[in-house]
Chain A
Amino acid sequence: MRRLATDTWLEKTSQGGLYSRASAQPAWSQLLAVPAARVARLGMANSNTGSLSTFGQRNKRGKQIALDDINETGVLGGDLEIIEEDTQSESGPGVSAAQKLVNQDGVPLLIGAVSSGVSLAIYKSVIQGSDVTQISQNSTSPDLTNFPDLLRMSPTGAAQASALAGIVNEDGHGKVAVTHLTNAYGVGVAEAFDEAYGGESKLFPHDQGKSSYSNVITSMADYDADAWLFVTYQPEFTTMAQESYDSGNSGEVALYGSDSVKGPNVLEQTPEGSLEGMKLVAPSAALDQDNYKQFAQAFRDNHDTEPTAWSAYAYDAVVTAAIAIEAAGSTDPAEIKAEARGVTGPGGTEVFTFAEAVEALGDDGSASDVNYQGVSGPIDLDKNGDPKAFEQIFQIQDGEYVSQGFIAGE
């Protein structure tokens, strides 16, 4: 039953397989009096609901802005369309979503997922061994580095973990309690931190989506550390911060956090001042670049709020995919796969937008002719499918995230 589409043009009906829309409903294309606009379709597995829904929503916005930009120029002379499915931020539904996109819709390239655990589950059960390219928009687990064909737009958490360890050391804390999720992201970042950090530390693992974490908070308080590091998601962190406040720990220990606990909603839902002074490290977009500024402007115009680095990664995932199709000159999965990594550079003409990339590619250009400089940074996917890391340090001051500078990774 597994069918990997070799072509996703809607109007090519001649040899449609079992799932081909066009062949299943031949009358439709005749009924619809739309001129034969050619549509290239990609898939996106996104966290529309679940623990990472705040990321998912921003991805959706980033994706839409990317589509608007791309379709001004058009992909292979037609429109680019993205079919989006919900992963619910969990592996089971995530794999079902990917199976639907790859086997049923026959997409040649899949953007997905947010959670590292979900990205890996999708890679192992749907993508591996096929010609379909997978680009994760937001996954940061160091573990993904071991899967070179699983590309991602967001930098590995190992860079983040070593940055965090550096800051904790610099602040002079000798004993750290680390609480982390038991999924690929949490374990990856926590272990990388443990390795990079010199002092005494203990890991307090916790599961996702529980109603109560007071058992975790109570045992962390019992460990009597100078500093607490949270490697978890926003809802889980908010619950913990509330419980920590409720049990009188606020102000007793220095707080540190990974990128995934940072969000305006966290500040809103936690007691005022309870997180004051907390330091976080988060991947950053290329804030000074013109293309980022245009992206940010479009984001503000449409949503009345600043974009996050995560939405920039989603934007870049879509643009990279579109450039790869353009470089391949077709929607054949194998041909796209051959181009996807290379279009991000290094080497080739530096291009900052999809339109520039199309121009640089000309009629018969290939991946080596373009070096896409994304709104999130240089990207430059390496042999492991990881982009260049660029991290920003934040501190919570007067209930706001205030930038404390940048750290560039390898």
Chain B
Amino acid sequence: MSQIFQYFVNGLVFSSIIVLGSVGLSIVYSIADFANFAHGDTMTVGAYGALVTLPTLSGIGGELLGLPLGFYGALLVGMALAAAIAVVTELTIYRPLDTDAIGMLITSIGVAFVYRAALQATFGSDFRSYSIERSGPIPGIENALNVTITERATVMIVCAIVLVTALHLLLQYTTLGRKMRAMSDNPELARVSGIRTDRVLLATWVVGAALAGAGGVFLGLYSQIDPRIGFDLLLIVFAAVILGGIGSVYGAMAGGLSIGMVHEFTPLLTDVGIPIGTDYASAVAFIIMVVILLVRPSGIAGGEAT
């Protein structure tokens, strides 16, 4: 039983990274209207942004949830950098480019290569990690529940919840959020009704890329950082978005959580005697995605747009 609870906790931790990635991808998809293949590498940009600033910020004293305050500063820098790079890309590449969704998709693959190559040229392809010492499992929780979870993992889960809640509030209760939703429903109608769609689009990039940046920082905090981490996760993030219902932010949250959980629950199959090893975790996640799509062709939150 405690084993199942452990899988669940592992799933929560992994899901918090995927959700941050999938929500950002989904919001960009619904408003900019194309599948952004550079999203994974935007995550990597965020991870490196934090890596570079962490040494200077680590002088800040104090701790929050077991991690130095400097880390949260570095997290914000990572998010800001990812957002800035995304905005620059939008202004210099995507906006001037007069092409359809497929053209944009292919362009974004090119952009992804450029991001990755730039990171690799600057930092090399060796893997690195944030200079925050690992603490091991939190003893209190391990003793009480027989489940191991680290302080950094709890930080990741808490931050993911905070960010996703903030996004929810932004979308539902602010003028910008209403404009974004209007644009996602019908961009032409939004424009004729006086919404400056260009600005909303930029805001969308900022929000989507900042969330991706946060996901990237957590990915680096979780294990380590190299120029491919974001790209390696991209397929799973796409699966989460599609599972949730393309373009739906709330669906992307649900999709991210499901995919992360399925990924970490795969050992259960062997436990109950089904000979499917953990090396098939991604395959199992994708099969479940296909099954859900067969039952609900438009995804978990199908039909309900942002």
A214/B219 contact (C-beta < 8 A), A238-B224, A239-B224, A265-B126 known: no
A245-B223 Cα distance, complex, nearest whole Å: 11
Flag if A238 contacts B223 (CB, 8 Å): yes
> For chain B residues 226-266, which have a beta carbon within 8 Å of chain A?
226-229, 232-233, 236, 263-266
A207-B148 Cα distance, complex, nearest whole Å: 24
Q: A269 on the interface (CB 8 Å rule)? A: yes
Stretch in contact with the other chain, from B169-177, B180-188, B275-283? B275-283
Closest CB in chain A relative to B246 CB, distance in Å? 22
- Contact bitstring A163-192, B, C-beta under 8 A = 1, else 0: 000000000000000000010000000000
A209-B279 Cα distance, complex, nearest whole Å: 11
Flag if A219 contacts B267 (CB, 8 Å): yes
A203-B10 Cα distance, complex, nearest whole Å: 21
Chain A residue at minimum C-beta to C-beta distance from B267: A219
Q: B296 on the interface (CB 8 Å rule)? A: no
Q: A54 on the interface (CB 8 Å rule)? A: yes
Q: A409 on the interface (CB 8 Å rule)? A: no
Q: B150 on the interface (CB 8 Å rule)? A: yes
Flag if B232 contacts A214 (CB, 8 Å): no
B3, B153, B224, B236 interface centre (most CB from chain A within 10 Å)? B224
For B, the interface residue count at a CB cutoff of 8 angstroms equals 46
By a CB distance below 8 angstroms, the chain A residues around B136 are 245-246, 248, 250, 271
Chain A residue at minimum C-beta to C-beta distance from B279: A205
A210/B232 contact (C-beta < 8 A), A215-B7, A219-B267 known: yes
A239/B223 contact (C-beta < 8 A), A211-B232, A212-B263 known: yes
Flag if B267 contacts A271 (CB, 8 Å): no
Flag if A218 contacts B267 (CB, 8 Å): yes
Stretch in contact with the other chain, from B127-135, B191-199, B206-214, B298-306? B127-135
Flag if A214 contacts B264 (CB, 8 Å): yes
Flag if A204 contacts B277 (CB, 8 Å): yes
A238/B3 contact (C-beta < 8 A), A204-B277, A206-B278, A212-B223 known: no
Q: B14 on the interface (CB 8 Å rule)? A: yes
> For chain A residues 31-72, which have a beta carbon within 8 Å of chain B?
48-50, 53-54, 57
By a CB distance below 8 angstroms, the chain A residues around B265 are 215
Closest CB in chain B relative to A125 CB, distance in Å? 24
Flag if B133 contacts A271 (CB, 8 Å): yes
Chain B residue at minimum C-beta to C-beta distance from A88: B228
Closest CB in chain A relative to B100 CB, distance in Å? 27
Flag if B127 contacts A50 (CB, 8 Å): no
Closest CB in chain B relative to A201 CB, distance in Å? 15
A204-B266 Cα distance, complex, nearest whole Å: 12
Q: A4 on the interface (CB 8 Å rule)? A: no
Closest CB in chain B relative to A169 CB, distance in Å? 25
Flag if A211 contacts B219 (CB, 8 Å): yes
Q: A242 on the interface (CB 8 Å rule)? A: yes
A211/B229 contact (C-beta < 8 A), A238-B223, A246-B137 known: yes
Q: A235 on the interface (CB 8 Å rule)? A: yes
Q: A243 on the interface (CB 8 Å rule)? A: yes
Q: B23 on the interface (CB 8 Å rule)? A: no
Flag if B150 contacts A207 (CB, 8 Å): no
Flag if A222 contacts B271 (CB, 8 Å): yes
Q: A130 on the interface (CB 8 Å rule)? A: no
Chain B residue at minimum C-beta to C-beta distance from A265: B126
Flag if A209 contacts B232 (CB, 8 Å): yes
A209/B148 contact (C-beta < 8 A), A214-B10, A215-B10, A247-B137 known: no
Flag if A269 contacts B127 (CB, 8 Å): yes
Chain B residue at minimum C-beta to C-beta distance from A202: B270
Flag if A215 contacts B228 (CB, 8 Å): no
Chain A residue at minimum C-beta to C-beta distance from B3: A222
Flag if B14 contacts A214 (CB, 8 Å): yes
B148, B266, B282 interface centre (most CB from chain A within 10 Å)? B148
Flag if B127 contacts A215 (CB, 8 Å): no
A246-B156 Cα distance, complex, nearest whole Å: 14
Flag if B142 contacts A207 (CB, 8 Å): no
A387-B221 Cα distance, complex, nearest whole Å: 41
By a CB distance below 8 angstroms, the chain A residues around B227 are 49
Q: B222 on the interface (CB 8 Å rule)? A: yes
Q: B107 on the interface (CB 8 Å rule)? A: no
16 cross-chain CB contacts under 8 A: A54-B126, A57-B125, A204-B277, A206-B278, A207-B281, A209-B232, A211-B222, A215-B10, A215-B267, A218-B6, A222-B271, A235-B127, A238-B224, A246-B134, A247-B137, A248-B137
Q: What 9 pairs across the A-B complex have the smallest Cβ distances?
A: A219-B267, A53-B125, A205-B279, A239-B223, A247-B148, A271-B134, A214-B10, A248-B137, A246-B150
Contacts A213-B278, A216-B267, A250-B136 supplied; 12 other A-B pairs, CB < 8 Å: A48-B125, A49-B125, A204-B278, A211-B14, A212-B10, A214-B10, A214-B14, A218-B6, A239-B223, A239-B224, A248-B142, A269-B224
